[in-house]
Amino acid sequence: MAKEYDVVVIGAGNAGLMAALNLQRAGKSTLIVEQHNLPGGCASSYVRGRFEIDPSLHELAGVGSMENPGSIRKMFRELDLPIKWVDVNDCFRVIGKFSDGSPMDVTIPSGRAEMIDAMEKYVPGTRKKMEKLFRLFDEVSEGLEFFSRTDKYDLKYAIKHFGNMLVVGAHSSKIVFKAMRLPQRCIDILSTYWSYLGVDLGHLSFLHYAMMVRSYLDEGAHIPTFTSHELSVALEDKFRELGGDIWFNCRADSIIFEGDKVVGVKTPYGDIACKYVMANVNDDIVYGKMVPKEHVTSRIRRLSNARKHKYSARMFTVHLGLDVTREELGINDYSIFMVGTADSEKEYSNMMKGFESNEFAILVCYNVVNPKASPEGTCLCSITTFGSPVDWNGLKPEDYAEYKTRCAEKLMSIVKERAGIDLFGHVEEIAIATPWTFARYLGTPEGCVYGHATSDWDDIISRTLQMNKDYPIKGVRPIGAGGPRGDGYSSAYQCGEMMAQIAIKELDGEAAV
């Protein structure tokens, strides 16, 4: 242990990079150890032929415009990171069937007023109910901001100003939609976004749903011009500029304790001395492999048992470099959701039964919003769905290539049948990422990129309120998808920033918040 750091951050994913940069800015000497040879985790890029491909990002919420910046743009601006954002004009197009079996082909634009107008067009007579729903979204946002400022608040004031939020706070999105008597077709359209959180509406907290949808509609969705690798490199460069250290190709094996005190991290290249560890690693791995058993408390074990390995989205993605333009293919929408059913609970159940019953796919064409996403005369697309342990946990290695190819062909067929977009015959480059791919590259159980599902009692509100009880080991904080903010790019950046501020206070001898 030649050099001692205040903090070692394990993993240079979104949350790890953001946490490390905030720690270094605050004067805490920080080292990142990353098992791969470049930063970002999923936020990266790779090359196939003449195409540079983003392995995971569809779009970010919380960016906003230059004039009305959202939380993510403010965060990157404050860090002096000059990201070139591209606006994704529409929210989504969804093709499938309504719950009554009738055809559904709906396009929802960005913007609150525009979305309400669109809903009135598709489901006449719903304008007032949608306006009421958005007022509830606003109350949820303002209420959560109020409660996040302090744990000592005026209860009478909270009941008076955020009473509706307190009423709906413990309920799922489905229950709240039904209580508001939204027409079923309205619910069918609103359910489209469930897949971005990996939790169906019957189990997805309404508060979580409200925050996400309000952000997408009011601030719009964005992508970086030069793939998510642009974000990771910018964070790494700023971190190094401030004096931070990164060890690439270095795996963290375990966290070292002396008594109850964290004193370092063990790696294949020697032990690193530190006072604090932030792990951008799945918390089952943190507590199951990295922390000595005697330090894993009964609460940690009970929490893991209660989650019962209920992991969220296990991604399956087909990346396609195509030899024609998106105009020639007839692709006019950035993201097209093709659903087997508008009932998210049935959809998720069908996914988990295995690929044969999975009829869900999301087509993204990056050239729709960024014409330079691929070489002239070409376009770059991805098709994403969820994988199931039924298919992948027992798959033999010798059957892997054939099976993933068959799954990719099924997704391309869904796009052809539902959207009328024929990708066959135009594939110049193809790369197929399965749950095995994500498990191998990220080290996540079953290839789950989102960590444990933020559903029912284990939603982001409960995680935030129970943070100190759920993370009882002093000097060790899981972050990223294993942290209180749950899944997604924006959530990971926010989690990294929030957990860094907590670590700074603890290192300075202040009580945790």
The predicted pLDDT at position 43 comes to 94
Integer Cα distance of 341 and 98 in angstroms: 7
Q: How confident is the model at residue 151 (pLDDT cuts 50, 70, 90)?
A: low
Residue range 265-320, pLDDT digits in tens: 999 999 999 999 999 998 889 999 999 999 999 999 999 899 877 888 889 999 99
The amino acid occupying position 35 is Q
Calculate helix-pair angle for 229-241, 14-25, nearest 10 degrees: 20
The predicted pLDDT at position 152 comes to 62
- Record the pTM: 0.94
Residue range 278-287, pLDDT digits in tens: 999 988 899 9
Residue range 381-406, pLDDT digits in tens: 999 999 999 998 889 999 999 999 99
Beta strands in 131-198 (DSSP E): none
Query: In the chain, where are the structural domains located?
Result: 4-45+227-309+455-507, 112-223, 314-442
Q: Residue 448: which of 252, 240, 197 has the closest Cα? A: 197
Give the mean pLDDT of 490-499. Answer: 91
Tell me how far CA of residue 94 lies from CA of 5, 109, 132, 361, 415, in angstroms.
50, 12, 23, 10, 12
- Decide if 379 contacts 346 (C-beta within 8 A): no
Give the mean pLDDT of 340-358. Answer: 94
Taking 60 as the threshold, does the pLDDT of residue 512 lie above it?
A: no
4-45+227-309+455-507: what fold? Answer: FAD/NAD(P)-binding domain (3.50.50)
Residue range 114-140, pLDDT digits in tens: 999 999 999 999 999 999 999 999 999
Taking 80 as the threshold, does the pLDDT of residue 481 lie above it?
A: no
The predicted pLDDT at position 459 comes to 82
Q: Residue 472: which of 286, 243, 212, 201 has the closest Cα? A: 286
Q: How confident is the model at residue 513 (pLDDT cuts 50, 70, 90)?
A: very low
Q: How confident is the model at residue 511 (pLDDT cuts 50, 70, 90)?
A: low
With tokens 């499938």, the residue in question is: 96
Question: Taking all residues of the chain, what is their mean pLDDT, rounded to a whole number?
Answer: 92
Tell me how far CA of residue 239 lies from CA of 55, 390, 496, 510, in angstroms.
23, 41, 14, 25
Taking 90 as the threshold, does the pLDDT of residue 1 lie above it?
A: no
Residue range 218-260, pLDDT digits in tens: 898 999 999 999 999 999 999 999 999 999 999 999 999 999 9
The predicted pLDDT at position 510 comes to 62
